[in-house]
Amino acid sequence: MGGSLLSTGAGSSSSGNWRRAQARLAFPLQAPTSVGPVPDVLVLPRSSTAAAFGLSVVGTDPETPHTAEGLGRCPGTDASTAGYSPESTQALEVANRVYQRAMERVVRSPADGVLLDAGFGNHKVISEVRDEPNGLLSLAMSSHVEIVAMCIRHGQPVRIWHQAGGERQFIAMRTQSVIGEFIWLAEAYPDAYIAWFDERLEPFLRDISEWPTLVRHSLEVLHLSCFQRCDLMVESLGLVDFDSPFLLPGPTDRRYPTWLISPIGGIGHASAFRAVGLDAGFKQFSALLFDLGYRGIQQGLCPYSEPGLLRGEAPSGILQGLQEPLSDTSLALLIRRRFGRKWLFFWTVGSGLFRRAWPWKEALKASMMGHAPYRGAHLIASLHPVLPLEAPITSVDVVIPTLGRPEYVKNLLEDLSKQTALPNKVILIEQAPGPLTAGTAPESFKKTLPFEVDHQVVGWVGACRARNLGLARSSSDWVLLLDDDVRLTASLLAYLLKVAAAYQVDAVNGATYRPSETGDALARQFPRVWHSCGGTILFRRSVCHATDFFDERLEGGYGEDYEFGVRLRLNGSNILYAPGDPILHLKAPSGGFRQPFRHPWVNEVPQPRPSPIFLYSRAKHAPELMQKGYALYYWLKRLGSTPVYKWPWVLPAIRRQWKSAQRWAARIKPDLEQPVAAPALQQFPAD
């Protein structure tokens, strides 16, 4: 059987009556032979939205669903060694990328035989493998991917071309405004990918017709933010958004999630731009894209800085020449639209104190601007990836630190035993600073559970240390961190795994609610990008090891989750907030895995405020203006809660406490090595 590059494709299936997709061959490709029998697999195009197509892998025999191992035996294609003709090489490279992406997202087969449900933009893909000794693999991407690309020179469009069906045509420009053209293209070509690039960077870009192959679902927007250093373009925004991990410089050697969408090069689907909305009130293209990214991540948009858009390393001189900071006018409007009027005043004061610039005129003008109307908000739901019918075949360990809550832990273990996707192992770290007891999980109870329980008792207390011990003892592909006083639905673990597979992310935060609340409102929301980690988070064990676990210097400071999440992001991992299966957090009044932590400044007079650990965590990652923005916020908040007539006495006290906090924060050595292995480690004896 020979391979083929598809120009059209359609198909459907039903139990006992499987119909193969119809395809018109564009040109034949010689495919390698299999090393042995392979399962008979058919990949059918599935229209998930008007603008996006995905995949479904269907077995020819619904009574014998294929396994991930079976699909793994499908032969790959290597254009460099299999003897393909030169004109076929590019198509096969595209096919390889799609095929590998599909194989990474195999899920358990339900009764109807569907193995995979994955979105790949608006590509139409078909794969067919016959169960015979010389079985052949044919996988290719349709040439009917529609792309519109705009070339920009010094802030103005210079040419626009449209490509569909392999044919490229130039489009007459309607205006000399990049923003005007971009908005018009998104409306005029609703089923196309919209790409943009700076003319100076063009020699170093990968073929733009290949850019859509890097987009994994319709809500992804790929760009070159980390290469342009977009964080420097909005540096003073850190005065306002001083908690954001997105304003930190990111890596250039890997895909990196950031809402700072670069104006020098990028691609996204028109349907996503229309759904989130484009604000024509901005005068700079970069400001429009930053606004799009900031609002978009709150609705499910997934912007990434993607080095794959380049075909090589671009000269640093050219990239530095493309770093055009946002004007104060654009920044003021961005702050007004996204943060509100009160933060305009805050930004103006901070700029005067720390930048020696007082943008009063820009702030006043922006304060009189209203919010722009967005007409396509109702479209965003249709663009979210469809979750797999069943959780992916993988392994999960659950880590639960606890202290003095045996009944809560027992209930949580029972909830885990009812999961539709069972964990491989539950690692229970019981902190017992007093005499060690076996009251939390007796051996007789553990034997009734459908998973292994690795129950450790330690003679110390510490949230970071307990989690690190649990992570060090984990061995599965994924790790789920849980508080000990939560209750889970039977589908929680499966839901988190499905979200991670559908959106192709490394970490997923669960949503929690309290007993006085209901989770109904949360369950109706779609997953979206989250700034950091929470108490309930599922992440790949490999990225956790690459991030180097929790920082134990933050023990007792209530900021370890945030700091760990920042390092996950800086390592290239995206973190989603997935509220579709809410978790009940009981907020038990005592116990848990926290206990008053005795810091070395406990007897300091005056007491350092804010916590030195909090200042240390900020100094560890945040640039100078973000740290100064927080300092200004802290001082104004303290003064705002004090009557004005007391300020002459309160100001010196605040200054002394702040200086003390800074002094102690500086003494927390960033290079201090703390072992993960804990002393006084014991296992519970059997009953």
DSSP characters for 349-371?
HHHHHHTS---HHHHHHHHT--P
Three-class DSSP category at 407: helix
Q: Report which secondary-structure segment, H or E, holds 333.
A: helix 328-338
| pLDDT value, residue 594 | 53
Distance CA(153)–CA(157), nearest Å, equals 6
In terms of pTM, does the model score above 0.85?
no
Using pLDDT thresholds of 50, 70 and 90, give the confidence band for residue 206: very high
Question: What's the CA gap between 130 and 365, in Å, rounded?
Answer: 67
- Find out whether 208 and 145 touch, Cβ atoms under 8 Å: no
* Cis peptide bond upstream of 610, omega within 30: yes
Distances, alpha carbon 603 to alpha carbons 217, 285, 598, in Å:
55, 54, 10
CA 435 to chain centre: 43
Higher pLDDT, 597 or 660: 660
Q: How far is CA 324 from CA 156, 233, 252, 336, 645, in A?
A: 14, 6, 19, 21, 45
CA distance 105 to 399: 25
Per-residue b/e over 486-522, b at no fewer than 16 CB within 10 Å? Answer: bebbebbbbbbbbbbbbbbbbbbbbbbbeeeeebeeb
The total of other beta-carbon atoms located within 10 Å of residue 69's CB is: 10
Q: For residue 253, what are the CA distances in angstroms to 221, 295, 313, 506, 556?
A: 18, 26, 10, 17, 35
Q: How confident is the model at residue 204 (pLDDT cuts 50, 70, 90)?
A: very high
Least confident piece of the model among 2-11, 465-474, 616-625: 2-11
Question: What is the overall mean pLDDT for the chain?
Answer: 76
What gap in Å lies between CA 258 and CA 231, rounded to an integer? 10
Rounded-to-integer distance, Cα 286 and Cα 298, Å: 19
354 against 55, higher pLDDT:
354
Q: Is 13 left (phi over 0), alpha (psi -120 to 50) or beta?
A: beta
What lies within 8 Å, CB to CB, of 477 at 6+ separation is 394, 395, 396, 540, 541, 542
pLDDT at 392 over 80: yes
Q: Which element (helix H / strand E) includes 171?
A: strand 167-171
Is pLDDT at 12 greater than 80 in this prediction?
Answer: no
What three-state secondary structure class fits 415? helix
Distance CA 326, CA 334 (A): 10
What percentage of residues in the chain have a pLDDT greater than 90?
A: 44
Whether 290 shows a pLDDT value over 60: the answer reads yes
Kindly give the pairing relationship between strand 425-431 and strand 25-29. Answer: unpaired
Q: Are 610 and 659 in contact (CB under 8 A)?
A: no
Provide mean pLDDT across the span 385-396.
90
In the prediction, which pLDDT does 443 show?
Answer: 72
Query: pLDDT grade, residue 74 (50/70/90)?
Result: very low
Give yes or no for a contact between 559 and 613, defined as CB atoms under 8 angstroms apart: yes
Q: Distance between CA 322 and CA 264 in Å, rounded?
A: 7
Does 593 score more than 70 pLDDT?
no
* Most confident among 49-58, 393-402, 541-550 (mean pLDDT): 393-402
What average pLDDT does this structure show over 582-593? 74
CA atoms within 13 A on the CB side of 497: 27
| For residue 2, pLDDT beyond 80 | no
What is the per-residue pLDDT across 227-264, written as a single tens digit (0 to 9) for each? 988 888 898 999 999 988 888 888 888 999 999 999 99
| DSSP per-residue codes, 10-78 | B--EETTEE-PPB--EEEEE--PBPSS----EEEEEEE-SSS-EEEEEEES-TTS---HHHHHTS----
Q: What is the dihedral of CA 263, 269, 273, 274, to 10 degrees?
A: 150
Q: Would you state the pLDDT for residue 677?
A: 35
446: Cβ–Cβ under 8 A, 6 or more apart, which residues?
453, 455
- Whether 574 contacts 546, CB under 8 Å: no
Least confident of 63-72, 155-164, 185-194, 499-508: 63-72
| The amino acid at 651 | L
Burial of 590 (0-12, 13-18, 19+ CB in 10 A): exposed
345-357: average pLDDT: 94
pLDDT at res. 439: 53
Three-state secondary structure readout of 603-663? CCCCCCCCCHHHHHHHHHHCCHHHHHHHHHHHHHHHHHCCCHHHHHHHHHHHHHHHHHHHH
